[in-house]
Amino acid sequence: MTLLLLLAILDGLAYAALVFMVAVGLTLVFGVLRVLNIAHGSFFAIGAYVAATLGTAAAATAAAPALALPVLLLAAVLVGGALGPVVEKLLLSRIYVKDHVLQLLVTFALFMVLEDVQKLIWGVQPIFQDAAVKALGPVEVGDIVYTRYQLFLLPGVAAVTLIGLMWFLRRTLTGRVIVAVTHDREAATAMGIDAQRVYLLTFTFGTMLAALGGALASPTTSLVPGIGVNMIVLSFAVVATAGLGQIEGAALTALLIGLGRSVAVYFAPEFEVVIPYIIMVVVLLVRPYGIFGSPELRRV
Amino acid sequence: MEPRLALPAAAGVALVVGLAAAAPWLKFVFTIALAKGLAVLGILLLLRAGQVSFGHALYVAVGAYTVAFARPGIGELLVLLPLAVASATAVGFLVGLFVARYRDIFFGMLNLAFSMVFYSLLEKLYTYTHGTDGIRVDRPSFAGILLDRVPYEWVMLALVLALSLGLGALARVFLASPLGQALPAIKTRETRLEFAGISARRVLLVAYVASAALAGLAGGIIAVTTLHVTPLLAYWTHSGELVFIAILGGGGSVLGPFLGAIVFELVRVYASAAFPDAWQMILGAVLLGIILFASRGLWGLYEDLVSRRGARP
């Protein structure tokens, strides 16, 4: 019983870290661009696939164990750097003035396209590449043998991302410019800030975060079609529970939902998928704008 | 129904029946297409309020599984379909109480979340649903008569044609009613609607429950036509299809969903066989094209064609 609970907590921590990586990108992009990007889930999946491909290629070289971790980061940078600017420039920049429903439809359409791009490139058979987990090896926690990768690396990266992002947004010039555009785009533009550039930058960075989440997830699971949709729905639950645009809040709710889900995995496996949404629905019933969100002003 | 729509509707019915008589396999395609058209009619109601649901496959699946669960005990089509509608309406009301509080992003994504939860429950509760294998549905009787395959297919097509015409006309009456007129007001300025003393939440809830009922009916028809239900009915791709058809057909007229659904299913029969792994990609790309360049859909193109001809001396 206690053993199971400990396992559930360890799993929950690792899972929450992954969900947070994706959710924080989603909420950051929404906060700045005011567009909820459904294709964010595809960026996660593509990041995972590219990481697996690079990992397999790296495993064939002489320096295999040393390369297993760097290729994960490389995958995220490649995917974010290649897809982010293209999508923002060609697609999103056309729809900032349109209403929310059309924006949602556009990102949904992009999501449909990218889902099949994955199938065309990587096929529908499960892909498994866990060189990164093996490179770090196992660790004993009490009576449990756990992977160092999931115990230290995943929560570590998530924590560094959270702290780094807070520091970046509050202490650096670029970060403050982003915050300024978020608060009042017109005023910021009047001060001479190039809002287009801020959008491009933020979106590319958000894409990288999703791809990094995918890359980090890839050694711990088999990659099959459909991981993108599960992740976008789950990270939306996290982001909505926290309040759209809330970064620290997303970390907390990711933890809550990650732990809730992994406890369910061990104690009520049929309802594993339902738990995050029950948490979300309960929170939204009490606070319709999320735990940390505030109601938007209504126009008359 | 005013003459402007009666003519194309009559032409459409004649075309569907004529083609189905000429090529027997089209009976099945048209029945499924028109059933989806009914579900899309519900999506259209929500689109009028400026809301889009990425989870209406949930109600299609509720309707279909209701038929699958009830079929061993009940053998009559005219009982099974109302049952499907009733259960989808009930689920739609419960979910609607919650989602009608939300707009835009939350509305769309909460619907997606509910449908994905239902999908995974259908998949995991194997003892009841047989998981991904799905459930076989025996062919039911129609008005007490057990029909052979070919007459049964004709009856289904006639039934779904009649339902499409009847419910399409009803949707038109609804949209013209004060309640229906309140829907576009939710899209433009909800606060003003509330200042006029009308509860936006209640208006949206009515439209939502109606859309759930329509989707449930579609699910019931799909179940007794394909005679097999699987969790895939609730999957997000299916919800995406419904939204896609609504945009393809165009939101300007109640005939749009049916026009869109028939074109969609006909193209799908060929395209998804030729490119099984690129089908979603084609849909997504076309959807992008319509949104960015022809936002009134196929019905809009038809209207342009008619008005241009009318303007000619």
The pLDDT of residue B310 is: 57
Rg (CA), chain B: 19
Residues 6+ apart with CB under 8 A from A20: A158, A161, A162, A238, A250, A251, A254, A255, A258
Residues 6+ apart with CB under 8 A from A126: A222, A223, A224
| Tally of CA atoms within 13 A in the half-sphere of B291 that contains its CB | 27
CA distance B262 to chain A (A): 20
pLDDT tens for A202-237 read 999 999 999 999 999 998 888 988 889 889 888 888
* Mutate: best of B277, B283, B290, partner A, most A CBs <10 A: B277
Q: How many residues does chain A have?
A: 300
Give the DSSP H/E element, type plus range, for residue A187: helix A185-190
CA distances from B53 to A83, A195, B29, B184 (A): 27, 31, 25, 16
Mean pLDDT of B285-291: 85
CA distances from B210 to A131, B105, B268, B275 (A): 52, 21, 27, 35
The percent of residues above 90 in pLDDT, for chain B, comes to: 32
Which position has the higher pLDDT, A295 or B143? Answer: B143
The first and second tokens of residue A79, run together, are 């995917």
CB A223 within 8 A of CB A118: no
A45 neighbourhood in chain B, CB within 8 Å? none
CB of A224 less than 8 A from some CB of B: no
B277 neighbourhood in chain A, CB within 8 Å? 116, 119-120, 124
State how far the Cα of A217 lies from the Cα of A214, in Å rounded to an integer: 5
- In this predicted structure, the answer to whether residue A296 has a pLDDT above a threshold of 70 is no
DSSP secondary structure code for residue A172 in this structure: S
Kindly determine whether residue A288 and residue B125, on different chains, have CB atoms separated by under 8 Å: no
The pLDDT of residue B303 is: 78
CA B132 from chain centre, in angstroms, equals 23
User: How would you class B142 by CB atoms within 10 Å of its CB: exposed for 0-12, middle for 13-18, buried for 19 or more?
Assistant: middle
- In this predicted structure, the answer to whether residue A165 has a pLDDT above a threshold of 60 is yes
pLDDT tens for B137-164 read 888 888 888 888 888 889 999 999 999 9
- In this predicted structure, the answer to whether residue A50 has a pLDDT above a threshold of 90 is yes
CB A212 within 8 A of CB A252: no
**Sign of the CA dihedral running A274, B216, B38, B92:** negative
State how far the Cα of A35 lies from the Cα of A24, in Å rounded to an integer: 14
Q: pLDDT band at B313, cuts 50/70/90?
A: very low
At A98, which amino acid appears?
Answer: K
pLDDT tens for B250-263 read 877 888 899 889 98
* Mutate: best of A36, A233, A299, partner B, most B CBs <10 A: A233
**Mean pLDDT, chain B, whole residue set:** 87
Which position has the higher pLDDT, B130 or A254? Answer: A254
Kindly determine whether residue B105 and residue A100, on different chains, have CB atoms separated by under 8 Å: yes
Q: Which residues pair with B228 in a beta bridge?
A: B136
Phi/psi for A147 (5° steps) reads: -90, 140
Burial of B296-308, coded b for 16+ CB within 10 Å and e otherwise, reads: bbbbbebbeeeee
CB of A94 less than 8 A from some CB of B: yes
- In this predicted structure, the answer to whether residue B311 has a pLDDT above a threshold of 70 is no
The pLDDT of residue B36 is: 94
CB of A74 less than 8 A from some CB of B: no
Give the DSSP H/E element, type plus range, for residue B91: helix B77-99
The first and second tokens of residue A140, run together, are 């004993």
Kindly determine whether residue B51 and residue A298, on different chains, have CB atoms separated by under 8 Å: no
Which of A25, A20, A79 has the alpha carbon at shortest distance from A203?
Answer: A25
Q: pLDDT band at B105, cuts 50/70/90?
A: confident
CB of A285 less than 8 A from some CB of B: yes
DSSP secondary structure code for residue A297 in this structure: P
Query: Nearest residue of B to residue A295 by CA position?
Result: B102
DSSP 3-state assignment of B145? strand
Mean pLDDT of A156-185: 91
Which position has the higher pLDDT, A47 or B136? Answer: A47
State how far the Cα of A20 lies from the Cα of A242, in Å rounded to an integer: 11
Helices (H) and strands (E) in chain A, counts: 14, 2
CA distance B49 to chain A (A): 10
Least-confidence region, from A77-86, B31-40, B172-181 = B172-181
The first and second tokens of residue A164, run together, are 């780094």
CB B183 within 8 A of CB B203: yes
Least-confidence region, from A49-58, A188-197, B302-311 = B302-311
CB of A91 less than 8 A from some CB of B: yes
- In this predicted structure, the answer to whether residue B211 has a pLDDT above a threshold of 90 is yes
- In this predicted structure, the answer to whether residue B33 has a pLDDT above a threshold of 80 is yes
CB A24 within 8 A of CB A165: yes
Q: A-B interface: how many C-beta pairs under 8 angstroms?
A: 117
CA distance B278 to chain A (A): 5
CA angle A267, B229, A124 (to 5 degrees): 70
Q: pLDDT band at A25, cuts 50/70/90?
A: very high
The pLDDT of residue B309 is: 63
pLDDT tens for A83-136 read 999 999 999 988 888 777 788 889 989 998 999 899 999 988 998 888 888 888
Helices A70-90 & A40-59 angle (0-180, nearest 10): 140
pLDDT tens for A134-149 read 888 888 887 888 888 8
Query: Nearest residue of A to residue B110 by CA position?
Result: A237
**Mean pLDDT, chain A, whole residue set:** 88
pLDDT tens for B37-48 read 999 999 999 988
- In this predicted structure, the answer to whether residue B275 has a pLDDT above a threshold of 50 is yes
The pLDDT of residue B85 is: 94
The beta-carbon neighbor of A229 closest among B102, B195, B236 is: B236
Kindly determine whether residue A109 and residue B291, on different chains, have CB atoms separated by under 8 Å: yes
Give the DSSP H/E element, type plus range, for residue A140: strand A138-141
State how far the Cα of B220 lies from the Cα of B65, in Å rounded to an integer: 8
Mean pLDDT of A283-298: 76
CB of A157 less than 8 A from some CB of B: no
The beta-carbon neighbor of A112 closest among B51, B190, B281 is: B281
Which of B259, B257, B13 has the alpha carbon at shortest distance from B157?
Answer: B13
Which of A115, A292, A97, A244 has the alpha carbon at shortest distance from B105?
Answer: A244
- In this predicted structure, the answer to whether residue B1 has a pLDDT above a threshold of 50 is no
